[in-house]
Structure 1
Amino acid sequence: MFVVKTYPEFSWSLSRHYTLTECKRRYAYQYYVSHNGWLKDAPPEARHAYRLKNITNLEMFFGSIVHETIKKAIDYYLQTNKLPEEITLREYIRKRLNNGFLDSTRRKEQWFKHPNKTTMFHEIYYKETNQLPTEKVEKITHRLQVAMQHFLSSQTVHELKTQSIDIKEAEKFRVLRIGQLKVYVVLDLLYYDRSKNHWVIVDWKTGKRSEEDLYQLALYVLYLMNAYSIPHHQDIVIRNEYLLEGDVAEQQIDEVTLEKVQELIGTSVDWMYSLLEDPSQNQPLPLEEFPKTDNKNTCRFCNFYELCYS
């Protein structure tokens, strides 16, 4: 049964760590002020922060829809032994994009009341316009044209058709426990390849190729070793499928990186605890103890901009 708590449960994730590194005020709004903001009797600032927390941008929204669509396609294949046609997948994504645009421009009142069930684009909310930037629309249109083509021709889909793999998990939050600490990890797809006797973690990439965050990959490996009692990290392959370029890259994480990410977690948790009034309750210090960043360029893209500068 759901129980309303005054303060949220403490947990750790790499995104939480990076949020704190980027701006303490944003961290406070994201993880504390917005807590319980979905309740009708929540304080106005909590409701306001919760609404802003649910704002997305066009690239993030597109990425989330592509991941959702791929999961549906793989589920369908496991049930029918067939993959949907490219045009079917592309049209599903197009409809979801259009619906997000309509939410943001014609259903603002619904978003105000139910921000977790309605889409609001950062580009529309903060520009106070009903139009998305032309360059962004063109970029997403191109990605829509190529993403599903590259998914269907990907190495992962090829291996799926060989019938030599056992899919374990797809698109859900996982919890890695380090002592009493909950560490959240999200894997796109996880399977065991019987023909090669190794585990494969698949990460679908919907943006341009960039320098990979080794700590994020190390968290994937730590989770897998813990959840499936895998003794050797050498038995785990991490595969990035770049849906924009149609390329694939595989790598393995070494022991040194695994140790470093665990050290990072410990240091980061200590830092987060130093911002708590009462660690046993996860009660934060007063908001003024969470200063704003000096990087005004970062502020322009922050969901909580109007709480800081309105």
Structure 2
Amino acid sequence: MFEIKTYPEFSWSLSRHKTLMHCARQYAHQYYTSHNGWLRDANPTSKQAYRLKNLTNLEMFFGSVVHDVIDQVIDDYLNTGYIPGEEALREQVRQELNKGFVDSTKRYNNWWQRPKKTTMFHEIYYGNTTQLPSEKVDKITHRLHVTMNHFLTSQTMKELAYNEQIEFLEAEKFRILQVGQLKVFVVLDLLYKDLDRNKWIIVDWKTGKQSEEDPYQLALYVLYILQTYDVGSLDDVIIRNEYLLEGESVEHQLDPVTLEKVQELIGTSVEWMTKYLEDASENQPLPLESFPQTSDQRACTYCNFYELCFSQ
């Protein structure tokens, strides 16, 4: 049964950690101010923060759409054996992008009332315009052109299509990893087992450029499957980043030292987050003024919560 709580339940994720590293004020709005903002009788600030929390930008929206299309393609393929052509997949992504644009430019009232169910682009909302920046449109047009081709020709799709000794396990589901008493949220893009080689393969689809933070996310995935499945050893786990922009497949194997470091990172991060709590047992935050804003005001212009910090 759904229970309305004064404060949200505390959990950890890499995105939460990165938000706090970037700006404590953004962290406060994302995880505390916006809490219960979906309720009819919520206070105006919580409602506003909840709306802003659900803003997206063109790059993020594109990545989300591509992930959804890929997930559907793989699910359909496992059930029917059919894989659509490149142009058909491009058209699916294009249609979803157009829907997002229509939502953002013509359904403002829908977004105001149901921000989680309606798309609103950051560029449209804060640009006070009905046009997207031409340079961003060009960037996404290029990404649309190359990503579907790179997906269909990726190492992962070749394995799924031509290796009959594949056991599909899960995809695109929120999962909870327990680290002590702490809940850690992870989302695996794709997990399957190569029965021929006795390898567990974790796949992470990337629509952007390679990042220094990618290995941390992959280590969380490994911790999850070690906790969830009967995996023989770390040597049996292959982690694969499929970089759809460049068309590169990069594989990693993690050692116990790396996993230990990731768990240490979680512990240190949680300690840092706890310093912003009035009551840790209730996850009650300190007053908003205790969460300092970043000194990088250029970064503020890209933040969903810009108007909460610079409304005057």
Give TM-score scaled by structure 1 length.
0.98
Question: Given residue 97 of structure 1, which amino acid in structure 2 is its aligned partner?
Answer: L
Question: Given residue 75 of structure 2, which amino acid in structure 1 is its aligned partner?
Answer: D
1:187-198 maps to which residues of 2 (within 5 A)? 187-198=188-199
Following superposition, the deviation at residue 209 of structure 1 comes to: 3.1
Cα deviation code 1:103-156 (max 9, x no counterpart):
111111111111000001111111111110111101111111121111111111
Q: Sequence identity of aligned pairs in percent?
A: 65
Conserved? CA contact 1:214–1:257, under 8 Å: no
Conserved? CA contact 1:177–1:183, under 8 Å: yes
- Indicate the larger mover: 266-275 or 212-221: 212-221
1:63 maps to what in 2?
63
2:208 maps to what in 1?
207
1:99 maps to what in 2?
99
Cα deviation code 1:157-179 (max 9, x no counterpart):
11112221111110111110012
Following superposition, the deviation at residue 215 of structure 1 comes to: 1.6
SS at 2:200 equivalent: strand
1:15-164 maps to which residues of 2 (within 5 A)? 15-161=15-161, 162-164=163-165
Following superposition, the deviation at residue 271 of structure 1 comes to: 1.3
2: CA distance, partners of 1:229 / 1:27: 36
5+ unaligned residues in a row in structure 1: which ranges?
Answer: none
Cα deviation code 1:60-110 (max 9, x no counterpart):
000000000001001110111111222221111111000000111111111
2: CA distance, partners of 1:164 / 1:156: 13
- Indicate the larger mover: 53-62 or 202-211: 202-211
* Count of residues in correspondence between the two structures: 310
1: CA distance, partners of 2:295 / 2:221: 33
Following superposition, the deviation at residue 212 of structure 1 comes to: 4.7
Question: Given residue 109 of structure 1, which amino acid in structure 2 is its aligned partner?
Answer: N
5+ unaligned residues in a row in structure 2: which ranges?
Answer: none
Q: Structure 1 residue 235 and structure 2 residue 236: aligned? A: yes
- Indicate the larger mover: 186-195 or 84-93: 84-93
2: CA distance, partners of 1:288 / 1:174: 33
2: CA distance, partners of 1:114 / 1:52: 12
Following superposition, the deviation at residue 189 of structure 1 comes to: 0.3
| CA RMSD, 1 decimal | 1.1
1:303 maps to what in 2?
304
Give TM-score scaled by structure 2 length.
0.97
Question: Given residue 179 of structure 1, which amino acid in structure 2 is its aligned partner?
Answer: G
Cα deviation code 1:244-278 (max 9, x no counterpart):
22221111112211111111111111111121111
1: CA distance, partners of 2:8 / 2:140: 36
1:232-271 maps to which residues of 2 (within 5 A)? 232-271=233-272
2:277 maps to what in 1?
276
SS at 2:127 equivalent: coil
SS at 1:5 equivalent: coil
2: CA distance, partners of 1:210 / 1:20: 18
SS at 2:266 equivalent: helix
1: CA distance, partners of 2:183 / 2:204: 22
2:226 maps to what in 1?
225
Question: Given residue 187 of structure 2, which amino acid in structure 1 is its aligned partner?
Answer: V
Following superposition, the deviation at residue 230 of structure 1 comes to: 2.1
Q: Which runs of 4+ in 1 moved over 6 A?
A: none
2: CA distance, partners of 1:74 / 1:213: 23
